[in-house]
């Protein structure tokens, strides 16, 4: 079966337990399940939402993959050519649905795993909603990089008289036509929402920037930035940092006069810290035309005023916090000692943490070579490792 909101993995007497439990029915979890099935194993995917691909269903309307269709396919099924080179949100969801059907994946939706526990006799026990206890020798955690929206606890935030929302609640520009909007955060999400707002008729759009980002053209003369990212992963960080400024200057004009200076840190060094470059989908044009106004980072709120790090203050009717997400893994696996100091899995892919055999992680990095591509690679490695360990 491809998906079920009622299928409960409490196996009847005489029914074998699954060979692996996959937590999360996003692209990472589906890819892992399909790769396991291809090796003759019987995985069960457990998803807390009522539908697979839940995070993709809730993204803003204009979102497209910043990686190419050809380099974003999951194991065993190409993305249809009809979806175009840069696949849109709705088509990503369609692809994930097609993917689950194509591989005949067993997916139990509406079930949230609360904790991963070591079983007394080996393997894992997973308490879940409804009093269920799931068991398996293999657990793949694929709950996603964007699990829990994060809004900083800015001083005075509760006094703000306008509308404050996280980017995860933004869908399109229609509710903000004619309004003064401050977007906080210049990652890919913040940059794209700012462009969407000006194109959708917002009255004024400012973009609060704490650290100037590296900006790359999504594609130059048909060559996608993703392809360069794949090549860069084979090179030392220092080499990429030295080469990147020449590539950036060749493709991106100097935006310093418009309030967005070139960054003084290395591109790949930033990637290693988790900050991937901004893929331009209209930001450069919007900044140069002064339709998007870069401003300093937000420091605090005071009623209708937002105070910025450079000492200035702005009035805003709406603040959209494109301030990222937390992985939210601590309640699930934090007690197992498998996370690093930033709450990230200490290992991913085919490696299992010390003292936690059979526990795998996928989808918790944000690689320059493309998240879908790396999840596909992880899926094959995980399946191979599980198959060899049996």
Q: Which domains does the chain have, with CATH numbers?
A: 20-147+327-389 (3.50.50.60), 150-321 (3.50.50.60)
Q: 228 by DSSP, 3-state: which? A: helix
Q: How far apart are CA 315 and CA 309, in angstroms?
A: 15
Q: What pLDDT, on the 0 to 100 scale, is given for residue 123?
A: 94
180/185 Cα distance (integer angstroms): 16
* DSSP E strand boundaries for 110-224: 117-118, 124-128, 132-136, 139-141, 148-149, 163-166, 180-184, 204-209, 215-217, 219-220, 223-224
Q: How far is CA 7 from the centre of its chain?
A: 27
What is the structure's pLDDT at 16? 59
> What does the alpha-carbon distance between residue 256 and residue 253 come to, in Å, rounded to a whole number?
9
Residue 342, classified by CB atoms within 10 Å of its CB into exposed (0-12), middle (13-18) or buried (19+), is exposed
Beta carbons within 10 angstroms of residue 301's beta carbon: 22
**107 vs 112: CA distance, rounded Å:** 12
Q: pTM of the entire structure?
A: 0.92
Return d(Cα 338, Cα 359) in angstroms, integer: 9
73 Cβ contact partners less than 8 Å away, ≥ 6 residues apart: 79, 372, 376
Return the pLDDT at 15: 43
Provide the β-strand partners of residue 359: 139
Give the per-residue pLDDT at 380.
97
- According to DSSP, the residues that pair with 74 across neighbouring strands are 77
Exposure class string for 138-160: b at 16+ Cβ within 10 A, else e? bbbbbbbbbbebebeebeeeeeb
Per-residue exposure over 51-71, b if at least 16 CB sit within 10 Å of its own CB, e if not: bbbbbbeebbebbbbbbbbeb
**What are the tokens at 45?**
């995917």
pLDDT for position 307: 98
CB 6 within 8 A of CB 123: no
Q: Are 362 and 375 in contact (CB under 8 A)?
A: yes
Q: Are 117 and 104 within 8 A, CB to CB?
A: no
Positions in the chain short of pLDDT 50: 1-8, 11-15
- CA–CA gap between residue 82 and residue 223 (Å, rounded): 20
Using DSSP bridges, classify how beta strands 318-321 and 180-184 pair: parallel, antiparallel or unpaired. Answer: parallel
Q: So what's the pLDDT on residue 357?
A: 96
Q: How many CB atoms lie within 10 A of CB 275?
A: 17
């Amino acid at each position: 079966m491809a998906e079920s909101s009622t299928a409960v993995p409490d196996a009847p007497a005489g029914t074998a337990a699954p060979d692996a439990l996959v937590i999360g029915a996003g692209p990472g979890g589906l890819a892992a399940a399909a790769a396991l099935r291809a090796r003759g194993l019987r995985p069960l995917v457990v998803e807390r939402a009522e539908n697979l691909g839940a995070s993709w269903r809730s993204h803003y309307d204009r979102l497209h993959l910043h990686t190419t269709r050809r380099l974003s396919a999951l194991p065993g099924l190409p993305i249809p050519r009809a979806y175009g080179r840069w696949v849109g949100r709705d088509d990503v969801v369609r692809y994930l649905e097609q993917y689950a059907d194509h591989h005949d994946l067993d997916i139990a939706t509406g079930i949230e795993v609360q904790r991963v526990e070591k079983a007394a006799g080996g393997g894992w026990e997973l308490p879940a909603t409804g009093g269920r206890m799931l068991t398996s020798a293999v657990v793949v955690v694929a709950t996603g990089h964007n699990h829990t929206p994060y809004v900083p606890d800015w001083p005075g935030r509760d006094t703000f008289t306008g509308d404050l929302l996280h980017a995860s609640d933004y869908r399109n520009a229609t509710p903000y036509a004619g309004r003064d909007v401050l977007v906080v955060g210049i990652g890919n999400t913040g940059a794209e929402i700012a462009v969407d707002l000006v194109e959708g008729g917002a009255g004024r759009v400012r973009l609060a920037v704490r650290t100037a980002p590296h900006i790359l053209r999504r594609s130059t003369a048909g060559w996608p930035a993703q392809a360069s990212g794949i090549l860069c992963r084979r090179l030392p960080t220092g080499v990429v940092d030295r080469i990147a400024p020449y590539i950036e200057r060749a493709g991106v004009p100097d935006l310093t006069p418009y309030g967005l200076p070139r960054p003084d840190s290395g591109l790949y060094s930033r990637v290693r810290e988790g900050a991937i470059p901004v893929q331009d989908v209209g930001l450069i044009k919007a900044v140069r035309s002064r339709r998007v106004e870069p401003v300093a980072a937000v420091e605090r709120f005071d009623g209708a005023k937002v105070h910025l790090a450079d000492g200035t203050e702005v009035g805003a009717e709406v603040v959209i916090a494109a301030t990222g997400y937390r992985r939210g893994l601590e309640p699930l696996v934090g007690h197992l000692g498998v996370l690093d100091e930033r709450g990230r899995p200490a290992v991913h892919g085919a490696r299992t943490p010390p003292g936690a055999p059979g526990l795998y992680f996928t989808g918790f990095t944000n690689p320059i070579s493309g998240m879908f591509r790396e999840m596909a690679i992880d899926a094959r490695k995980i399946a191979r490792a599980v198959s060899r360990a049996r």
